[in-house]
A and B are shown apart, each in its own frame.
Chain A
Amino acid sequence: MNNPVLENIRRSLGRTAPTSPSPRPAIYPPRQAESTEAEIVRSLEEVRKLSGVAQTIHADTVPDALKTLVAEQNIKKATAWNTPNLQQLQITHHLASLGVELVSPNAGKHDLALCDLGITEADYLLPETGTLVLKSSAEKPRAVSLLPRVHLAIVRPGQLRPDLHQVFDEARHDPYLVFITGPSRTADIELTVTLGVHGPKSLYVWMLEEV
């Protein structure tokens, strides 16, 4: 195969043929996890530092927590991932009983853009930065965490990973990942921090603890 760009690179590097490189320089080891409680506290603190709303909940406090959120954010329309965990919590059922109109997460982009609230669950959570890691698939459409003006992510202690290394070891072969660290923000006008420029204005992170 002749590829002029690669050939010119080789010429400039003083090579005539492709060579296999020596191993890449070693990386820095991952941080060590603290106790689960400490990791939870740290994660939620980081989310709050970035103007996110973070709290721990239990399966039986979900209805109340949803009620508060719907009132606080004036939610009329919502969409949620169709995952077993969220189904088990009966999220859509509770929302419907609060009078919220539900939109399928597989609806078109125009319909999702009209939603006030999008509900997902995080595949991983990084305590050091309060970062949610979300995968994408037909059951977990990536637009649900992007188009609605409020994003709620539910996460369990089992999803905590101490550092990027562990997340990458598990997820590097996924076709799509997004890290979400706080709500959408900009400081482009006179350096004034403004939330919700394109993505969600508000981010809620609920840590679901087993009773």
Chain B
Amino acid sequence: MSETPTYIGFETYTEHIPPSIPAAVQQATGRFVGGRAARVAELPHFEQLRQIASDIRLHTIENLDFYLERLAEQVTAAGGHVHWAATAEDARQIVLDLARRHNVHLVVKSKSMATEEIALNHALEAAGIEALETDLGEYIIQLAGTGPSHIIVPAVHLTKEEIAAIFSEKLGIEAPADPVELTRIARQVLREKFLRAEMGISGANFLVAETGTLVMVTNEGNGRMCTTLPDLHVAVVGIDKVIPDWDSLTVFLKLLARSATGQKLSTYTQFITGPRRAESEFGPREFHLVLLDNGRSNVLRDPLGRQVFKCIRCGACANVCPVYKNVGGFAYGWFISGPIGAIFAPQMLGTPVARELPYASTLCGACAEVCPVKIPIPAILRHLRRRVAEGDSLAPATMPAPIRAVAKLSAFALAQHWIYRLGARILPLVMSIFRRGDWIPSAPYPLSRWTKARPLPPFTAGFRQWWQKRKTGL
């Protein structure tokens, strides 16, 4: 996994989901939803915090050039190095060059979505450099050679027995099917790697423009290892991660863990400004920040769609999504899944590549209700459906011409109420041909796709008549 996809076949994937995946995913989402609800109830001003967070993120996106420039100045002033990567290839080259210059053989990585996005591990391995994921869940799926099924607990689809088998096979040791023992083994194996690695690679949860500070949140402590022990720390971070100042952080840090796992704060939050200052201190000698564009600056052209960059990657939207809960993370075909994936991938990869994703939703709106930064996900999904169908300056239409024609026609008909009314009269007559008793057991194409699975209730009255009757107090 983790090469950039050329087409995401959501529908095809969903035809063969092993039942164990939704079962495991729902255990995780259930836990997180419960935890979040408890934390939200404790904070009476949670709704106000959400609004402020949303306002600050919007403000930052609208002034992204200003805050990025300030950030870069401050990182440099703190003794760090800033690299601008316009494309994924640029970013990979920057990291590879740094690794070569420092004669790096072993890289320890802390969970980072940006490095997944640019498929950095493949590039490092191709250059003969061992790159190890160190978040336990990420480490397990790296050994297993699969992708993440959940944004917070990426290996949740694997049972302890399966993980034990993977450890036994890949590490050549006897591993019991016990979470505590398996964790102990991973600690031992990875501890030795942390101490040996010449380079640590991380992402960031936030970049604070005011002081050039990288903020990183982890629970396991692997993020601290990666940024404390190796001599070289390279952070690869999307340009959308910048926030104005530390005051803004008071808002986001209160929302992030509560929304993600139902913790008040994650175990470790690090605030890193530049490399270590004194030779006798711990921390990297060199700090490099790779600011990744990779299409983000183009996505900004869409005033509604660009709200996707408000995201703080908490995963709350996925936890409440009825579609995600039944298909799991793999179906979304890239490193980011759930409702956020469905609005991120089509914009970043282009609507032709991810055209199925905006439809991978019931538009129930649960995601928007929990999103800590109030991204109007359903509105963006509808907007992207339109872009998929009709095409625009960013990408051509992907719907076949006949379907587009039908869509145009029905849009026209729905706008002219006499056509609509006429249709509502005629339809029950047409349908009565296929009616058997109280149901329509099989209907002609394209409705046959529905009746293959279940019978269709016949239209008994037009919506207008029904509404009239309802209003007059029935």
Binds B, one of A70-78, A94-102, A152-160, A186-194: A186-194
Partner of B297 from A12, A168, A181, A185 at Cβ < 8 Å: A12
Chain B residues in 8 Å Cβ range of A5 = 68, 84-86, 239, 291, 293, 297
- Given A12-B298, A181-B267, A190-B160: A198 in contact with B191 (beta carbons within 8 A): yes
Instruction: State how many angstroms separate the Cβ of A20 from the closest Cβ of chain B.
Output: 7
Chain A residues in 8 Å Cβ range of B160 = 189-190, 192
Residues of B within 8 Å of A, CB-based: how many?
A: 94
Instruction: State how many angstroms separate the Cβ of A119 from the closest Cβ of chain B.
Output: 16
Chain B residues in 8 Å Cβ range of A25 = 52, 55-56, 59
Q: Is the CB of A12 within 8 A of B300?
A: yes
- How many angstroms between the C-alpha atoms of A27 and B191 in the bound complex? 40
Q: Is A63 an interface residue (CB 8 A)?
A: no
Q: Is the CB of B222 within 8 A of A13?
A: no
- How many angstroms between the C-alpha atoms of A10 and B67 in the bound complex? 12
Chain A residues in 8 Å Cβ range of B251 = 27-28
Q: Is the CB of B195 within 8 A of A110?
A: yes
- Given A19-B66, A128-B264, A189-B182: A28 in contact with B27 (beta carbons within 8 A): no
Q: Is the CB of B264 within 8 A of A185?
A: no
Task: Please report the number of residue pairs spanning A and B whose Cβ atoms sit closer than 8 angstroms.
Answer: 234
- Given A21-B66, A188-B135: A180 in contact with B268 (beta carbons within 8 A): yes
- Given A18-B69, A137-B278: A27 in contact with B248 (beta carbons within 8 A): yes
Instruction: State how many angstroms separate the Cβ of B124 from the closest Cβ of chain A.
Output: 21
> Chain A contact residues: over half helix, strand or loop, or mixed?
loop
- How many angstroms between the C-alpha atoms of A175 and B220 in the bound complex? 22
Minimum CB distance partner of B211 in chain A: A172
How would residues 261 to 298 of chain B score, 1 for a CB under 8 Å from any chain A CB and 0 otherwise? 10111111111111011101111000000010100011
Q: Is the CB of A168 within 8 A of B272?
A: no
Minimum CB distance partner of B301 in chain A: A12
Q: Is the CB of A185 within 8 A of B270?
A: no
Binds A, one of B113-121, B223-231, B325-333: B223-231
Chain B residues in 8 Å Cβ range of A211 = none
How would residues 1 to 44 of chain A score, 1 for a CB under 8 Å from any chain B CB and 0 otherwise? 00111101111110100111110111110100000000000000
Query: What are 15 A-B pairs at a CB distance below 8 A?
Result: A6-B69, A9-B297, A19-B63, A24-B60, A24-B247, A27-B251, A129-B265, A164-B249, A165-B247, A178-B271, A194-B179, A198-B134, A198-B190, A198-B221, A199-B268
Q: 5 tightest CB-CB pairs across the interface, nearest first?
A: A199-B221, A188-B137, A12-B300, A21-B63, A25-B55
